[in-house]
Amino acid sequence: MPEDDSVAPEALHDKHPKWMGTFPYPYMNGVLHLGHAFSVSKIEFAAGWERLQGKRALFPFGFHVTGMPIKAAADKIARELEMFGPEFAVPEETELESQPSELSVDTAPKAGGNFRGKKSKVVAKTGNKKYQFQIMQDQGMSNAEIAKFAHAEHWLEHYPPIAISDLKAMGCKIDWRRAFLTTDHNPYYDSFAQWQFNRLRDMDKIKFGNRYTIWSAKDGQPCMDHDRQTGEGVDVQKYTCIKMQVLNWSQAAQAVIADILELKGKKVFMVAATLRPETMYGQTNCFVGTKLTYGFFQSSMSDEVYVITERAARNMAFQGLSPANGQVVQLGTISGQDIVGTKVNAPLSHYTDGVFMLPMDNVLATKGTGVVTSVPSDSPDDFAT
């Protein structure tokens, strides 16, 4: 731009028009596939066309290495090295059995109908391989090379050059002088991302706080859909917990509680998890699994104890319902069979003098809290039971 402003910016842009296109950063936990080629062809053709029109067309490219998938895969290689050694010698009894085809005669689409694959992204990429090293062996890697992938940084050094070579072989009009990796491996990109978040925070557009999400207790951070080794598509299940204070313990439960000195002077609650809290006005009783073991867990209130399953206590420990975040304090255990006959206060029920805990064989320890409310007026199963 001349110092005397003799050329207006608009005139300069008209004389030398610009065009820029970008491609969503491909994730570098493997080589580029046909889906990448299909998508990148769109912007590649557009860049060529704009260049033919005399425009200064810019097509930069970046590589996505942020998030948990690379770290999770590196951890899997490290664990498999510990399990099977540097030669990845898998014992015969742990070999992966062949999987039947997902498209059988019974599931084949009818003539004129649409077919949609049932495989998730993870399954589509890994096939029927059970171990991470098997996936990489299929890429032609030696065991010595695979062992290097136990370090997350090696993924960043290995796959981006292959992607660049493939894109060059495709003839893409990419300006490789502007290529970069995300994360702090590129301090310029990292500072750019930090600047964005600092600006948004200064503008009061973002805040730090808690939200419901899938949480990795091992890594101490949220674990989003594509960050997980398994469980793609799993989302948060919201329950409403109903606190029901114990009024009278059953005779069997009294014998158990007498030996747990930590419960002395504390209020004990059976905590049920429900998806329909609006129906609790019709609650007639509660169910517990006779074959399950329940625990007495200290709550965030010093004088309150919850009776729930261990799995439920672990989940609740990260939701402000335990003495400290992530801390599970178990004071004792009791069998579901011993709880049967206990009388509790159902706070929303029509039966203000309390309802009883009854047995149910099919209560699952992996669902809710292991304590199930019974509302026959709204549940045919409860009515039948």
DSSP 171-211: T----GGG-EESSTTSHHHHHHHHHHHHHHHHTT-------
* Tens digits of residue pLDDT in 175-220: 999 899 998 888 888 899 999 999 999 999 998 888 888 888 877 8
Residue 25 CB coordination number (10 Å): 15
Q: Using CA of residue 154, residue 157, residue 160, residue 164, what is the dihedral sign?
A: negative
- Are 299 and 270 spatial neighbours (Cβ–Cβ below 8 Å)? no
Residue 95, pLDDT > 60, answer: no
Residue 104 — pLDDT band, cuts 50, 70, 90? Answer: very low
Q: What's the confidence (pLDDT) of residue 93? A: 54
User: What integer best gives the mean pLDDT of the chain?
Assistant: 86
Of residues 29, 69, 25, the one with CA closest to residue 158: 29
Q: 227 and 68 in contact (C-beta within 8 Å)? A: yes
**Which residue is listed with tokens 């049920």?**
272
Instruction: Using alpha carbons, select from 313, 269, 270, 305 the residue that is nearest to residue 288.
Output: 270
Q: How confident is the model at residue 100 (pLDDT cuts 50, 70, 90)?
A: very low
Distance between CA atoms of 172 and 161, rounded to whole angstroms? Answer: 15
Amino acid occupying residue 182: T
What is the pLDDT confidence band of residue 97, given thresholds at 50, 70 and 90?
Answer: very low
Answer whether residue 232 shows pLDDT above 80: no
Is the model's pLDDT at 43 over the cut of 50?
yes
The residues facing 248 across adjacent strands are 343
Distances (CA, A) of 149 to 30, 73, 117, 145, 157: 11, 8, 31, 7, 10
Task: Please compute the mean of the pLDDT values over residues 263-273 and round it to a whole number.
Answer: 95
Q: Which two tokens stand for residue 77?
A: 């290689």
pLDDT on residue 342: 96
Query: What pLDDT does residue 99 have?
Result: 46
Handedness of CA 331, 335, 336, 340 (dihedral sign): negative
Taken as a whole, the chain contains a residue count of 385
Identify the pLDDT of residue 118: 52
d(C-alpha 152, C-alpha 135), whole Å: 16
User: Which whole-number Å values give the CA distances from 352 to 15, 85, 207, 271, 346, in the listed order?
Assistant: 83, 64, 43, 17, 7
Strands (E), the chain: 18-20, 56-58, 62-63, 180-181, 215-216, 221-222, 240-248, 267-274, 285-289, 293-298, 304-308, 330-335, 343-344, 355-360, 371-374
Query: What's the confidence (pLDDT) of residue 144?
Result: 94
